[in-house]
């Protein structure tokens, strides 16, 4: 790895056909204009202003919002990065002196030595685009190469997942920071944001399944926070892209992921009814959004049978990663309803319950114990004993085990490494 060679990116300047040509002051307006492109048929927009809905949140507009304006009608010039490395030389040398190198950045395991092929620029909280040098900001081709390198580490088995996640988490924030400073909108940038959102969703899934220590709980919270920020920025990019009469083919999928993250009313920043009004009709009518809306309806209505069966039949891998934490909650609702509404002298057959909950019978018994319920065996088969009590709030916090869906389809989805 240490000897891995990388071709340095040489930025092109003063070329009107370049992807990094300056945005002309004469063309600045509320609706961004597309620059002419001669490669990949991908338009790049240097956006100084976005619509009111997208300017509220997201890294895409953070550089503008944090700049000190001397004139309210004049926007600062766009910064065009020229750094050809994954990490600027100055930062790399400074972190070597301070021995501030992650395990993935150490040359031959030396905590005070790295190389351009290993060091990746860290996220900085105290940064100002006004004082930032172009040589410290990476252009889009270098950022994409850096992202490729980082995501290749995601499925590494050489280190625990929390170590891998922590490194990629910080370095992808730095990538988003560099992108926001340059305010570029293009198909390439949109694809990069989509890949970073996928990383956060996969981490969401892995961290939820891991043991809930204080450290992993904190990591999970921070990961969800950055996931929402990345999604918000991605939607802003979609909106600007649509303003130039172009639409991303993956919009429906990522809007559906946002909706699934808001199944619980506690997670909502605004009413979903208002959010739905801003969604394009083509997205609302898509298969991905149809699935997400039905899952939302089943969850809010407490239709546990439809919720579980629809998830098993239709969920994509990323959709399942988000829905999985809700499955245990829905299962608790199911056994609560059956236990409360059943006949005490006639236990509910575990065989039938296993089909509703899509669990193995042995898992149903263990899950019932977790929910402080009892099962009995009258000779004809095991059954769930009715207690006439709701059990949702009786589950001990120590019992956070997730029981897999008894589904070959979901098993295949989780076994396959998702393409990033």
Indicate whether 280 pLDDT > 70: yes
Minimum mean pLDDT range among 69-78, 105-114, 133-142, 289-298: 69-78
In the DSSP assignment, the letter for residue 247 is: -
Cα–Cα nearest to 347, from 318, 374, 311: 374
Q: What is the pLDDT of residue 32?
A: 35
Confidence bin at 103 (pLDDT 50/70/90): very high
With contact defined as beta carbons under 8 Å apart, do 1 and 104 qualify? Answer: no
Q: For the chain, what percent of residues have pLDDT higher than 90?
A: 55
Q: Which residue has the tokens 């390198």?
A: 149
Average pLDDT, the chain: 81
Following DSSP, what letter does each residue of 141-170 receive, concatenated?
HHHHHHHHHHHHTTT-SSS-HHHHHHHHHH
Q: Is 233 exposed, middle or buried (0-12, 13-18, 19+ CB in 10 A)?
A: buried
Q: What is the pLDDT of residue 159?
A: 93
Q: What is the pLDDT of residue 73?
A: 42
pLDDT per residue as tens digits for the range 285-339: 999 999 999 999 999 999 999 999 999 999 999 999 999 999 999 999 999 888 8
Measure the CA angle with vertex 43, ends 194 and 279; round to 5°: 50
Q: What is the pLDDT of residue 389?
A: 61
Q: What is the pLDDT of residue 33?
A: 35
As given in the structure block, the two tokens for residue 45 are: 């927009």
As given in the structure block, the two tokens for residue 300 are: 């809010």
With contact defined as beta carbons under 8 Å apart, do 381 and 349 qualify? Answer: yes
Indicate whether 31 pLDDT > 60: no
d(CA 360, CA 406) in angstroms, rounded, equals 6
d(CA 71, CA 313) in angstroms, rounded, equals 56
With contact defined as beta carbons under 8 Å apart, do 54 and 235 qualify? Answer: yes
3-state class of 217 per DSSP?
A: helix
First to last CA, the chain: 21
Cα–Cα nearest to 104, from 60, 160, 43: 160
Minimum mean pLDDT range among 98-107, 242-251, 271-280, 373-382: 373-382
With contact defined as beta carbons under 8 Å apart, do 335 and 363 qualify? Answer: no
Q: What is the pLDDT of residue 113?
A: 97
Minimum mean pLDDT range among 41-45, 141-145, 263-267, 383-387: 41-45
Indicate whether 92 pLDDT > 90: yes
Q: CA torsion 304→306→307→308, rounded to 10°?
A: 90
d(CA 79, CA 130) in angstroms, rounded, equals 9
With contact defined as beta carbons under 8 Å apart, do 358 and 407 qualify? Answer: yes
């Amino acid at each position: 790895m240490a000897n891995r060679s990388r071709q340095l990116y040489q930025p092109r300047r003063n070329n009107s056909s370049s992807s990094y040509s300056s945005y002309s002051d004469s063309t600045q307006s509320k609706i961004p204009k597309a620059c002419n492109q001669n490669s990949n048929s991908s338009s790049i927009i240097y956006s100084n202003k976005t619509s009111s809905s997208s300017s509220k949140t997201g890294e895409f507009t953070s550089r503008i919002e944090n700049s000190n304006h001397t004139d309210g009608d004049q926007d600062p010039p766009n910064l065009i990065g020229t750094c050809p490395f994954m990490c600027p030389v100055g930062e790399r040398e400074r972190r070597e002196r301070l021995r501030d190198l992650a395990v993935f950045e150490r040359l031959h395991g030396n905590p005070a030595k790295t190389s351009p092929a290993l060091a990746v620029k860290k996220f900085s909280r105290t940064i100002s685009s006004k004082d930032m040098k172009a040589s410290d900001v990476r252009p889009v081709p270098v950022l994409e190469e850096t992202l490729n390198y980082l995501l290749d580490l995601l499925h590494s088995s050489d280190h625990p997942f929390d170590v891998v996640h922590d490194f990629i988490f910080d370095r992808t924030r730095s990538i988003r920071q560099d992108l926001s400073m340059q305010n570029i909108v293009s198909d390439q940038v949109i694809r990069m944001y989509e890949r970073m959102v996928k990383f956060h969703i996969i981490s969401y899934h892995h961290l939820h399944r891991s043991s809930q220590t204080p450290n992993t709980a904190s990591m999970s919270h921070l990961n969800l926070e950055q996931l929402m920020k990345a999604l918000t920025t991605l939607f802003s990019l979609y909106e600007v892209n649509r303003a130039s009469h172009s639409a991303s083919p993956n919009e429906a999928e990522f809007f559906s992921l946002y909706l699934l993250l808001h199944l619980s009313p506690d997670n909502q920043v605004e009413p979903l009814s208002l959010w739905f009004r801003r969604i394009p009709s083509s997205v609302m009518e898509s298969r991905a959004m149809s699935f997400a809306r039905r899952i939302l309806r089943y969850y809010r209505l407490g239709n546990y049978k439809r919720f579980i069966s629809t998830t098993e039949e239709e969920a994509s891998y990323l959709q399942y990663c988000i829905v999985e934490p809700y499955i245990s909650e829905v299962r608790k609702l199911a056994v609560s309803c059956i236990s409360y509404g059943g006949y005490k002298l006639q236990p509910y057959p575990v065989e039938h319950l296993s089909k509703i909950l899509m669990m193995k019978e042995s898992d149903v018994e263990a899950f019932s114990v977790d929910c402080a319920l009892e099962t009995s065996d009258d000779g004809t088969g095991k059954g769930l004993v009715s207690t006439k009590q709701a059990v949702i709030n009786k589950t001990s916090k120590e019992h956070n085990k997730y029981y897999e869906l008894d589904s070959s389809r979901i098993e295949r989805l989780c076994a396959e490494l998702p393409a990033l």
